[in-house]
A and B are shown apart, each in its own frame.
Chain A
Amino acid sequence: MDAQAQEIRSDTLRRWGLALPAVTIITLFSILPLVVVVIYSFLAPGDFGGVRWQLSVEGWFSVLFERDIFDDTVTLSDAHLTILGRSVALSLATTVITLILGVPTAWFIATRPARQRAFWLFLITIPFWTNLLVRTIAVQEMIRSEGVFNNLFLSVGLIDAPIQMMFTNFAVLVGMAYVFLPLMVLPVYAAIEKFDFRLAEASYDLYASRLYCLRKVILPLVRPGIIAGSILVFVPSLGAYVTPRIMGGGKSMMLGNLIEMQFGQGRNWPLGAALSLTLTALVLVALVWYTRLTAGKRRG
């Protein structure tokens, strides 16, 4: 009895000991910084950046509301809501575009003979070798007024004057879809690769149409991959900074740019911290949705 208790205790100790490095790393590099951000969001802004150690909820208040510059009436912050709305809308659009382009691509790769797949996957990962900034500027070169596309369209007589594509929401969308496409292809590919194609054959044998087979057999089984891909694209899109700044020409901000501004020219760190936490909360909502979806699948 005593020996057994002893054994259980030493077992618990060992488990704690083994978990200690992970717990330490998570506490030091994930929880503590987050705590700092939370604390800063409840302080008053310092005169020239930084914070003053004085409790204030002004930062959180300013996330959604503003006092009119003119008469101090409190209204919903039109600027912040517009930026928030744009961030969510552009991120959703990016996710849809990468889905439309990424799923067929992943399907194509997964259905090649095993030896060819490695080559196609290699092509998908090549852009990762290049810096994000360089890739974004390459896209800019494609769509600017004197760029590849405009010159092509002009030379075949499709248009008479260059189309202004740069510095628009369209440009931001093109940039983000290009940059995040591999993040969609890879998890979807992993899911399709594991798919047992004999199941599809079995459904055909049972007189399922191609569409029915896709809907009832293939999609449910590759869904986790599609959801994982969507999360991987949606989350970084929401916080994107470089792409909107370069492709959007600084004219229409996204959340990432708004946050950066508070720590720079805006000199309002508490608002920046509160906005960052708002972004984190949005990501959390997306992740909860993800767990719900995948858990639902297991139960069903």
Chain B
Amino acid sequence: MQRLTLTTALVTLALPAWAEGTLNIYNFGLYTPPDLIAKFEKAYDVSVTLTEYDSNETAIAKIEAGGHGFDIVVPSAAVVPIYIEKGLLLKSDPNTMENFKHLAPDWVDVSWDPGRSYTVPYVWGTTGVMVNTDIYKGDINTSDIFLNPPEELKGKINVVPAMNDVIDMAIWSVGGESCTTDREVLKAARDKLVAAKPFWASIDYASFEKFINEDLQASVFWSGAAMRIRAENPGFAYGYPKEGFSLWQDNVAILADAQNMDNAKLFLNFIMDPENAALISTYTGYGNSIQGSEAFMSADLLAAPEMTIPEAAKAVGHFQQTCPPEIQDLYSRIWTDLTK
């Protein structure tokens, strides 16, 4: 009994010291460089806990439910306004932080967080198509890869369940615009998706191994993920569909109910440092928005086709939007029709 009391006392004594130096990060899976975390832990004597999620929807549902214990979250641009409207983010004013000067001017006055009062850019990337060019020799810069698949790829295609990206690609392929209210266009896009579905193997956040082992030969995919798969299996290449592809940015923000606000602010400032932003790009294969980070990145990475949008494709890259609720409802009905 006495021993127990003693242990309890010791634990109680130890706790405050421990709690002072922690930071809980909630980020997408396979998205946080271990060396970045180690460097941050060492620099500020903070112990970091990382928890991962698969989609913006999962993250926002968990955070809204409360009791999550996270300090930092990484929402995509299209959902940042939802986080802000729901009061989930702390107005941490990153624009007053020391390293804010490194931020590329193009990424400061963004529609989802004008002047950057809530968020710091993490990385930006594109959603396009990835194909095994050992199997398929034709043009890969087209959404026909999954909407009207060539014979070689049929039954070997994955589509990531990124609902808006996938429906948008179908809409662009029939000549419409993202978040369109034109029912004719929506119907044509739905019909095209439904007609293509029998040729898909799965609608899944497929693991990298499935492509590296060539269980799957093509996918609607994110550029950085495609780069990491190419590193393991050089047959794979990333294409920018000429019909249209989406551009996005994920943003680091502090949660309104964060327990370790000071450490979270240190982290936001930390990742705006060019050397640290380079670490993120090197690990994830996506571009950052920090000037001067190029100096710390390898030439291969800087020249990688997944990170450099070709001049010809630039005009058809559309930045991800938050659709109005009534359009989002139509999107989710199309998606239900597709996955029924």
Q: Which residues of A contact B (CB under 8 A)?
A: 45, 47-50, 66, 69-70, 78-80, 82-83, 144-146, 164, 166-167, 245, 249-253, 257-258, 261-268
- Contact between A264 and B215, CB atoms less than 8 A apart: no
Q: Are B201 and A249 in contact (CB under 8 A)?
A: yes
Cross-interface CB contact of A253 among B58, B86, B340, cutoff 8 Å: B340
Q: CA A224 – CA B91 in complex, angstroms?
A: 61
Contacts A47-B325, A146-B215, A164-B201 aside, 8 further interface pairs with beta carbons under 8 A come to A48-B325, A69-B186, A70-B184, A249-B158, A251-B197, A252-B339, A253-B339, A266-B335
Separation of A267 and B330 alpha carbons in the complex (Å): 11
- A267 contact set on B, CB distance < 8 A: 325, 328-329, 332
User: Hey, which chain A residues are within 8 Å of B201, CB to CB?
Assistant: 164, 166-167, 249, 251
Query: B332, A261: Cβ atoms under 8 Å?
Result: yes
Interface presence of B139 (CB below 8 A): no
Contact of A167 among B57, B183, B202 (CB under 8 A): B202
B307-340 interface mask toward A, CB cutoff 8 Å, 1 = contact, 0 = none?
A: 0000000000000000001001110111111011
A79 touches B340 (CB 8 A): yes
Q: Would you call A264 and B190 a contact (CB within 8 A)? A: no
Asked if B256 CB lies within 8 Å of chain A CBs, one says no
* Known interface pairs A49-B61, A66-B333; A252-B328 also in contact (CB < 8 Å): no
Check if B93 is an interface residue, CB within 8 A of chain A: no
3 shortest interchain CB distances as A-B pairs: A249-B202, A264-B57, A266-B332
Cβ-defined contact, A266 with B325, below 8 A: no
Contacts of A250 in B (CB 8 A): 161, 202-204, 339
Q: Which residues of A contact B161 (CB under 8 A)?
A: 250, 265
1/0 per residue, CB under 8 A from A, across B156-186: the answer is 0010010100000000000000000001101
- The answer to whether B215 and A249 have CB atoms under 8 Å apart is no
Report yes or no: A251 in contact with B187, Cβ–Cβ below 8 A: no
Q: How far is the CA of A200 from the CA of B257 in the complex (A)?
A: 68
- B155 interfacial contact with A, CB 8 Å: yes
Checking B85, B200, B203, B334 against A69 with a beta-carbon cut-off of 8 angstroms, the contacting residue is B334
Interface assignment of B261: CB less than 8 Å from any CB of chain A:
no
Cβ distance A59 to chain B, nearest Cβ, rounded Å:
12
A82–B337 Cα gap in the complex (Å)? 10
Q: Taking the complex as formed, is B213 at the interface, i.e. its CB lies under 8 A from any CB of chain A?
A: yes
Q: Work out how many contacts link A and B, with CB atoms closer than 8 A.
A: 92
| Chain B contact residues, majority secondary structure | helix
| Complex contacts, A70 vs chain B, CB 8 Å | 183-184, 187
Once the chains bind, are A268 and B61 in contact (CB under 8 Å)?
no
B50 CB-CB contact with A under 8 Å: no
CB distance from A33 to the nearest CB of B (A): 13
B positions within 8 Å CB-CB of A: 55, 57-58, 60-61, 64, 82, 85-86, 155, 158, 161, 163, 183-184, 186-187, 190, 197, 200-204, 213, 215, 325, 328-330, 332-337, 339-340
Q: How far is the CA of A132 from the CA of B60 in the complex (A)?
A: 25
Q: A48 and B340: CB pair below 8 A?
A: no
The residue among B57, B184, B334, B335 with the most chain A CB atoms within 10 A of its own CB is B57
CA distance A63 to B142 in the complex (A): 37
> Are B203 and A249 in contact, with the CB atoms below 8 A?
yes
Once bound together, how far apart are the Cα atoms of A267 and B85, in whole Å? 15
A112 to chain B, nearest CB (A): 42
Chain A's closest residue to B329 (CB) is A268
A251 touches B339 (CB 8 A): yes
Q: From residue B75, how far is it (CB to closest CB) to chain A in Å?
A: 12
Least CB distance from A86 to B in Å reads: 8
| Closest chain B residue to A81, Cβ basis | B340
Partner of B57 from the list A69, A257, A265 (CB cut-off 8 Å) is: A265
**Cβ of B204 and Cβ of A69 under 8 Å apart?**
no
Q: Assuming the A-B contacts A48-B82, A267-B328, are A79 and B202 also in contact, with contact meaning beta carbons closer than 8 angstroms in the complex?
A: no
Q: A47 — nearest CB in chain B belongs to which residue?
A: B325
Partner of B330, one of A48, A69, A245: A69
- Chain A, Cβ-Cβ closest to B155: A164
Q: Which of A50, A145, A257 contacts B215 (CB 8 A)?
A: A145
Determine whether the beta carbon of A78 is less than 8 Å from that of B340: yes
In the complex, the chain A residue whose C-beta lies closest to that of B58 is A264
Q: How far is the CB of B71 from chain A (nearest CB, A)?
A: 22
Distance between Cα atoms of A252 and B186 in the complex (Å): 21
The reply to whether A48 and B336 contact each other, CB–CB distance below 8 Å, is no
Interface centre among B64, B200, B340 (most CB of A within 10 A): B340
Q: Which residues of B contact A268 (CB under 8 A)?
A: 329, 332
Q: Which residues of B contact A47 (CB under 8 A)?
A: 325
Nearest-neighbour CB distance to chain B for A200, whole angstroms, equals: 49
Report which of B55, B86, B155, B335 forms a contact with A48, defined as CB distance below 8 A.
B86
Instruction: Please give, as numbers and ranges, the residues of chain B lying within 8 Å of A49 by CB-CB distance.
Output: 60-61, 64, 82
Known: A69-B330, A146-B213. A261 touches B335 (CB 8 A): yes
**Pairwise interchain contact B337-A79, C-beta atoms closer than 8 A:** yes
* Chain B residues near A78 (CB-CB < 8 A): 337, 340
Interface pairs (28), CB distance under 8 Å: A47-B325, A48-B82, A48-B86, A49-B60, A49-B64, A69-B186, A70-B184, A79-B333, A79-B336, A79-B337, A80-B336, A249-B158, A249-B201, A249-B202, A249-B203, A249-B204, A250-B161, A252-B340, A253-B336, A253-B339, A261-B332, A261-B335, A262-B332, A265-B55, A265-B57, A267-B325, A267-B329, A268-B329
Is the CB–CB distance between B333 and A82 below 8 Å? Answer: no
